[in-house]
Structure formats: structure tokens, C-alpha cells
Chain A
Amino acid sequence: MDAMQAIRETFFQECEEQLGELETGLLSMQEGAADSETVNAVFRAVHSIKGGAGAFKLDKLVKFAHVFETTLDKIRNGAMEPSPPVMKSMLRAADVLADLVTISRDGGAFDDARSNELIGELNAHCEDKAPAAAAPAPEPKTEEEAEENPFAALGWEPVTISLEPDINEYVINFKPKPELYAKGNEATRLMRELSRLGSLTVQCEIADVPLLANLEPEQSYLAWHATLRTEQDIDSVRAIFEFVDDDCQLDVEKVEPDISAPPLEPVAEVEEAQEAQEAAPVETAVLAVEEQRAVAEAAPLAAASKAEAKPDAAASAAQNTIRVDLDRVDRLINLVGELVINQAMLTQRVLEAGAVKNANIATGLDDLEHLTREIQESVMAIRAQPVRPLFQRMSRTVREIADATGKNVRLKTEGEGAEVDRTVIERLADPLTHMIRNAVDHGLERPDARIAAGKAPQGEVKLSAAHKSGRVVIEISDDGRGIDRARVKATAINKGLIPADAVLSDSEIDNLLFLPGFSTAEKITNISGRGVGMDVVKRSIQALGGRISITSRPGLGSTFSMSLPLTLAVLDGMVVRVADQTLVVPLNSILETMKPKTSEVYGLGPDSQVIGIRGGFTPLIDVGYQLGFRYERCDPMQGVALLIETEGGYRSALMVDAIQDQRQVVIKSLESNYGHVDGIAAATILGDGRIALILDTDAIVNASSGRNSPSDMLLAG
């Protein structure tokens, strides 16, 4: 059963892909690209899902896919127009199909009402557009198919068999036409199969075979007369000839036991009927085909070889992917990480050993370094996946919210081919969904309001991805009303998030959206208000090593822009020294670095300090003291302050002794190799072989705010 389970998994993986293609295809059909290529691809996707679902007895999935497929078939053969209402139903049907697949895979309750509603909707379209007579109700057809199950038929068998002896006798007269041989069927094989059913006597009728000189190699001259004694019924006997029905003369008769009909009689009849025809011994027939082959060899061969050249290229394009278990890739990535570290260590040791810069060994090491870099990049690329499936999921989200809010929305996607680490993609789904919801629910106006504002009634949400300097930038923009800054500020003051007299720039007001506990909706709708705010979105993005920013223009729309690392296996970090320890601070959290001056540092109570930066005060946190590397606070004037931003947009200044380097480090999990340490996110191994801890800046700030009073935390800005 293991093999079956594996195939089942493959099936669901494939379903995901097919659903993706379905979505893409339907969307381009909606845009008006109803060319046969697109429609066929869409049809194939549904058809494949149905085919696989049948194999796993997923009846509800089969039933729904069948109705869906029937509708698509109508569009495919031109019996139905892909009009906007039809396309709308199609897209909704695709959503239901996706749900059915998910439920079939993970279990759960089927929403029968919804799928039946869609089935009704699709059927209604079919009946509308197709001539009444040519529209068979698709549902019963599925049931028919189910009834075709041979086991159902077998189930009845014992009931019909009476106490009479089970042996039946059949007389079979069979004369193949040339077409039978042309399709790769063979009379002798059919006779052999007959003999499997019981005891068989066969006569080959060779009277029609002409003299060799007159023999047409591709003609059929033989006829067969057989008598079969078997327990099987007449249908099983006929089933043997199922494939050749149209390509032969076939006559199967049951010989009733009480009527002892002489077996020769039917033969005679057949002979009469076939008088005008010819026959040949079987050897000749086979030989004839062989001969024909030899004759035909010369000419078509050239043509054939020409035709083969093309498929070759096409086939290689189709087969250039393999599937690999994710664990294996991760193991490889880990190993390559070790290799990079090892290579750096080796280089350092060689230099320590006093090798001259341009010695052969140094050149060799340089090559090794290039090579390991390249291996690392290639391995990282294995985990990378295009963001397309993620974007496709969003188009469903947009549809659902547009339906729920009565807004008319179009999702435009760009750069779906941009590749990002798989984990990043997985963990991006929730924040992205939330932001899309916000864009439609809060960003876009209702159609009437849009018209009043002189815009097209259909709003547009644009989702784009692009690679920029080693990171991927994902943007969500809408052409809605933009952020209502006056209201945002008022809300923030109301909720006590900012003082009533705060003077904030536009972008600072926009950033208020990311504060915990902020929600602009006057009443929380069940669409945007699902218990998560933009603060959670921001935190998820930061957890991925990313940053998020907003730009908005009143009346023209807003853009949320996220910049994310391409991989989670390496990190851009600043290597710093703190109390003789080497630490790495993730670069994405550092806003700026500075050397504090005496005039800027103020004591606040006995235990804490703040630093004045451009008119505001920011808590100063001594990392060494916080982590317990030293028991006395350092002198801020002797060190370097790293201004960082934490979740919620708060800023803090981390005091370190010195900045050493800025570099990419390979992340090693501390939890899986040692254990969790507060304030530390992970570890890495530096070129000199020493372990450096990677700072969890949020945790450091949180821990220190326990010592400092929270009121010291000043708002971003």
C-alpha cells in the first residue's frame, strides 16, 4: 500500500499544479484570450484531476470535476461562449474544485451546498447556450459511469446463475477485415484469448486464399470458425472482440443444450455469406505484412527521420525537471554551508602558516573560494521557486473579497517568475493575503464612489515581484482612495498610541498603521478584521528578514512594498565585537550606526540611558550588559551605537564596542545544535573557525524594556 500512498501524494501535488494552470488559463480567458491552446490547457487540467480522482475513488471530486469538464468541453467545441457571467462561474468553480482537492487530501467536511450550487450554475449555463436536445444532464452521466464499474456487475452474477449446469456452448464465426490488422490487432491472439475462457476448437477457413501471384499483401483472406464450451456468458465472449467490432464480421451464437444443432450448419451459412470474399493462411498474412514493410522501408524512412528531429527538442524541454525530496536539498544546503566555512578556515590557516600571497597554494585557495561560492549559489537556487503559485492564490482572495464587499476588482500580477526560497514563499502567504484583503476592503472605493471620483468603476490591485540587489521586492498597490492621514492620526491619538500634539510627517503617519492595536476600519469587518493587524504582517515580514514600507497618495492609491531575502540559509550581517565576544547583527534591522557624543547621552534614572537623535530620545541598550558578558555598563562614548527598528516600529540604540565587518553568514540553528538562548536568534561559524552568535534584536530590546520603564520607548521618528 506504500506505493499507492506515494502515488496519492503525487496526485495531490499534481492537483496543485493543475489548479495553478487552471487559474492561469481561466484568467487569461477572462481577459479575452479564449484561443484553443488556452481552453485546451484549462480543459486538460480539470480532466487530469478528474482522472486521478477516479483512481482514488474520490467521488465528490470526480462528480464536480465532471460537470466542470462538461461545461469546458462546450466552450472548447464552440457550443458555448466564454461570456463574462460564464467566466465568473468558471472561476468560482475553480475555487470550489481547489477546496474539494484540499478536503479530499486533508479530510474535513465537504461544503455540499456550495458545490451543488456551482454545479447548478454550470448546468444552467450549459442549458442556456446549448440546443436543448444536445444537453444531457451531466449528473446522471456520472452515475452511469459509476455503474460501469465491473465489480457492480459482478455483484449480480451469482444471483442469475441457476442450478442448471454452467457450461454453455457458443459458435463463433469471425472474419477479420484488413483494417483489423492495420490497427495492430491479430486474429490468432483473439482466438488465444477465446481459448482462455474454456475449451475451444478452431477451424481456419482458407478457401478464399488466392494463388501467390494474385495475393494482395494487405488484404485479409482468412476466416475462423470456433466452438467454445465455457462457463462464461455471451457478453464475456463478445468482450474479447470488443476492440475489433467494426473491423470484422462477427457472429456469436449460443447453442441451446436442448436443440442439438449441428455445428456445421452455421459454418455453411457463413460460407455462403462470404462467397465473394477471399481468404489466406495466417502465415501468408503475416508474411505479407512483413513484405509490405520491406517495400515501404525506403521512402518513408527519410520522411520519418525528418519528422523525428523536431519532437526531440520538444521532448527535452518537457523533461528537464526532476522531483527531489526537500530534506535532501536541505541537507545539501547545510553541507555546502559547512564547506563554505571550512574553505574560509582553510584560507585563514594557510595565511597563518605564513604562505606568501602569490604562492601557488594561495592561487589554489582563491580558485577554491570561487568554486565554493558558486556551489553555494547553485544550491540555494535549488530551493528557489517562482512566486507564481502564491500570486495565483491571491487572485482567489481578491475574487472572494470583491464578492463579499460588492466591489469590482481586477488583480494584475507582474513578475510571477521571480524566484524566492520556498520557505519565504510559504511564510509570505498569510501576510500577503492580509494585505490584499486590506487593499480591496480599505483601499478601493465602491464602484459608485469611484465613478464620482472620476475613476473607472473597476478598481485595480497590482501585485508585483522583482529582484533588486540580491533581494526580492514584492509590491501590492491599489488605485483606491489612498490613506486618509487625518483619520489615521486621529485614531492613533484616540487609542493613545501617540500624544495629541505630536507633529508627524506624512510617512510617519502612514507608519502608524503598523503599530500594534491599530485598525482604521470604523467597525471591524469580517473581511479585514480577522484578528490580525498590520503589526502582525510587519512582524511576519521581519521574521523573514524582510522590511516593509508604505507609500500613499490621497485619491490615487497606496503601495505596500516588501523587501525580502532570497534565502533564509544565509544572512547579511554586521559583525561586531562586544566584551571580547564576536556577534552578528542582522543587517535588515539596522537603520544606521553612529558614535555617540557626550552631549547626546542622558541618564534616565539610576539604571538606564537614552540617546538624543535628531530631537527625539531613543533608549540606549548595552548589548554586553544585557547578555551578561559584563556586569558594568560600558561607556557609550567608547563604543558604537546601532540604531535598530523593532517590531511595532519602535527604535532602540544597541551599544557595541566596535564594528568589525559586514558580510554574509551561513545561519546555523542554535536550537537544534545546542539549545535556546534568550536574545540570540542563531549562530554562525566565522572564517577563523570561531562561533559567532547572531543577535535577536527584538528579544534584546524586549528584555531590556523590562528593566527600562516602557514609557522610555519613544515612537518611531
Chain B
Amino acid sequence: MSMKILTVDDSRTMRDMLRMALSGAGFDVVQAVDGMDGLDVLEREAPDLVITDINMPKMDGFGFIEGARKKDKFRVTPILVLTTESDPEKKMRAKTAGATGWIIKPFDPVKLVDVIRRVAA
């Protein structure tokens, strides 16, 4: 069975790009539109890996990661954050919240898959 990846992003463009890159690489993709929705889909779909944006309405990426880490089932699920800038402060905050790693936008589909391999079984 192929790996199931949840992407959480409020931008339709980004969701479409992620879906294209990930399905193209043979992953199952499920999507959510913000942190709140993300937690919901997470629970329902139990993905093997999560990719989340930081800036989102309702609940941002930090809140989502903290929320996910509080759920026992997802304590060690790899969570990658998508970030536009290579802002070290933002990365640190994401890591403190429990993020496994990060992907810098705009991403290259090949590199994206490399990063996923690095953190996923």
C-alpha cells in the first residue's frame, strides 16, 4: 500500500501543486484547508506523513503541529512544514512545536520527494 500524505494549506494553488507532485510520485494524497480542518482530516484519515503550511486562517501551522503532537496516534508521525522564507526563527518555532523538518517554497517536486524519504518510513 502506498504511503498516505496529508497536506494542510489554505492556498488552493499550493494544494494543487502538492497534489500533483505527490500523486505523481505515487503517494496517496489527502488535503485540508487550515489547521482546524487539518486536525480533523488527520484523525479521520490517519496519514503516514503530514505537510503543513504555517500561515493559515483559523489555526496556523504551529497550532496544528502542537495539536497533532497532543494526539497519541500522531506523536511520532513525521510532519514537514512548508515555508517561503528560510527564516531560521520560523523554523525554530516549528521545530519547538514538534515539526520533523521543513520544505522551502517554491519546492521542486524531486527535492520534495527526497525530503519525504528522509523522514518517512
Chain A: residues with CB nearer than 8 A to chain B? 3-4, 6-7, 10-11, 13-14, 40-41, 43-44, 47-48, 50-52, 54-55, 57, 145, 148, 150, 181-186, 189-190, 193, 240, 242-243, 246-247, 289, 293, 296-297, 300-301, 304, 307-308, 310-312, 314-315, 318-319
Chain A residues with CB under 8 A of B108: 150
Closest 10 CB pairs of A and B: A243-B101, A184-B100, A315-B37, A11-B13, A54-B106, A55-B106, A52-B13, A311-B36, A184-B78, A314-B36
Chain B residues with CB under 8 A of A193: 117-118
Q: A-facing mask of B1-24, CB < 8 A → 1, else 0?
A: 000000000111110110010000
Of the residues A11, A182, A300, contact of B72 by C-beta under 8 Å: A300
Residue pair A48, B11 in contact (C-beta under 8 Å):
yes
> Could you jot down 5 A-B contacts, CB within 8 Å?
A10-B16, A43-B55, A52-B14, A184-B75, A189-B120
**Bound-complex Cα distance A246 to B85 (A):** 20
Chain B residues with CB under 8 A of A182: 69, 75-76, 98
**Bound-complex Cα distance A150 to B115 (A):** 14
Residue pair B40, A184 in contact (C-beta under 8 Å):
no
Task: Give A240 Cβ to nearest chain B Cβ, in Å.
Answer: 7
**Bound-complex Cα distance A526 to B108 (A):** 48
Residue pair A181, B95 in contact (C-beta under 8 Å):
no
Q: Is the interface of A mostly helix, strand, loop or mixed?
A: helix
Residue pair A55, B79 in contact (C-beta under 8 Å):
no
Q: A-facing mask of B104-121, CB < 8 A → 1, else 0?
A: 111110010000011111
Q: Is residue B62 contacting chain A, with contact meaning CB distance below 8 A?
A: no
Quick one: which of B51-91 are within 8 Å of A by CB?
55-59, 67, 69-72, 75-79, 84-86
Chain A residues with CB under 8 A of B100: 183-185, 243
Q: Is residue B99 contacting chain A, with contact meaning CB distance below 8 A?
A: yes
Residue pair B84, A51 in contact (C-beta under 8 Å):
yes
Residue pair B55, A47 in contact (C-beta under 8 Å):
yes
Given contacts A54-B84, A184-B119, A190-B118, 15 further A-B contacts (CB under 8 A): A48-B13, A50-B84, A55-B17, A150-B111, A182-B75, A184-B75, A184-B79, A185-B101, A243-B95, A247-B95, A296-B72, A300-B70, A304-B70, A312-B40, A318-B33
Chain A residues with CB under 8 A of B69: 182
Residue pair A308, B101 in contact (C-beta under 8 Å):
no
CB contact under 8 A between A289 and B104, given known A44-B56, A304-B71, A318-B34: no
Chain B residues with CB under 8 A of A50: 84
Chain A residues with CB under 8 A of B104: 148
**Bound-complex Cα distance A234 to B10 (A):** 37
Residue pair A243, B118 in contact (C-beta under 8 Å):
yes
Chain A residues with CB under 8 A of B76: 181-182, 184, 186, 289
Task: Give A113 Cβ to nearest chain B Cβ, in Å.
Answer: 27
The total of Cβ contacts below 8 Å across the A-B interface reads 141
Which of chain A's residues has its CB closest to B37's CB? Answer: A315
Residue pair B58, A318 in contact (C-beta under 8 Å):
yes
Task: Give B114 Cβ to nearest chain A Cβ, in Å.
Answer: 9
CB contact under 8 A between A311 and B101, given known A7-B20, A47-B84: no
Residue pair A186, B121 in contact (C-beta under 8 Å):
yes
Of the residues A183, A289, A296, contact of B99 by C-beta under 8 Å: A183
Chain A residues with CB under 8 A of B77: 184
Of the residues B37, B72, B118, contact of A301 by C-beta under 8 Å: B72
CB contact under 8 A between A148 and B86, given known A51-B105, A296-B72: yes
Which of chain A's residues has its CB closest to B53's CB? Answer: A51
Residue pair A319, B17 in contact (C-beta under 8 Å):
no
Residue pair B86, A7 in contact (C-beta under 8 Å):
no
Chain B residues with CB under 8 A of A308: 39-40, 43
**Bound-complex Cα distance A55 to B58 (A):** 25
Which of chain B's residues has its CB closest to A196's CB? Answer: B117
**Bound-complex Cα distance A310 to B40 (A):** 9
Which of chain B's residues has its CB closest to A55's CB? Answer: B106
Interface centre among B76, B78, B99, B111 (most CB of A within 10 A): B76
Task: Give B112 Cβ to nearest chain A Cβ, in Å.
Answer: 12
Task: Give A205 Cβ to nearest chain B Cβ, in Å.
Answer: 22
Which of chain A's residues has its CB closest to B49's CB? Answer: A184
**Bound-complex Cα distance A242 to B100 (A):** 10
Which of chain B's residues has its CB closest to A151's CB? Answer: B108
CB contact under 8 A between A14 and B72, given known A193-B118, A318-B34: no
Task: Give A76 Cβ to nearest chain B Cβ, in Å.
Answer: 10
CB contact under 8 A between A185 and B14, given known A41-B57, A148-B104, A318-B34: no
Residue pair A14, B70 in contact (C-beta under 8 Å):
no
Residue pair A246, B37 in contact (C-beta under 8 Å):
no
Of the residues B20, B37, B57, contact of A319 by C-beta under 8 Å: B37
Which of chain B's residues has its CB closest to A18's CB? Answer: B11
Chain B residues with CB under 8 A of A190: 118
Chain B residues with CB under 8 A of A41: 57
**Bound-complex Cα distance A57 to B86 (A):** 17
**Bound-complex Cα distance A411 to B76 (A):** 53
Chain B residues with CB under 8 A of A43: 55
Chain B residues with CB under 8 A of A47: 55, 84
Residue pair A315, B12 in contact (C-beta under 8 Å):
no
Of the residues B13, B56, B84, contact of A14 by C-beta under 8 Å: B13
Chain A residues with CB under 8 A of B36: 310-311, 314-315, 318
Chain B residues with CB under 8 A of A3: 20
Residue pair A52, B11 in contact (C-beta under 8 Å):
yes
Chain B residues with CB under 8 A of A184: 75-79, 98, 100, 119
**Bound-complex Cα distance A271 to B116 (A):** 32
**Bound-complex Cα distance A16 to B100 (A):** 34
Chain B residues with CB under 8 A of A315: 32-34, 36-37, 40-41
Task: Give A57 Cβ to nearest chain B Cβ, in Å.
Answer: 8
Residue pair A44, B16 in contact (C-beta under 8 Å):
no
Chain B residues with CB under 8 A of A296: 72
Chain A residues with CB under 8 A of B107: 55
Task: Give B5 Cβ to nearest chain A Cβ, in Å.
Answer: 13
Task: Give B102 Cβ to nearest chain A Cβ, in Å.
Answer: 7
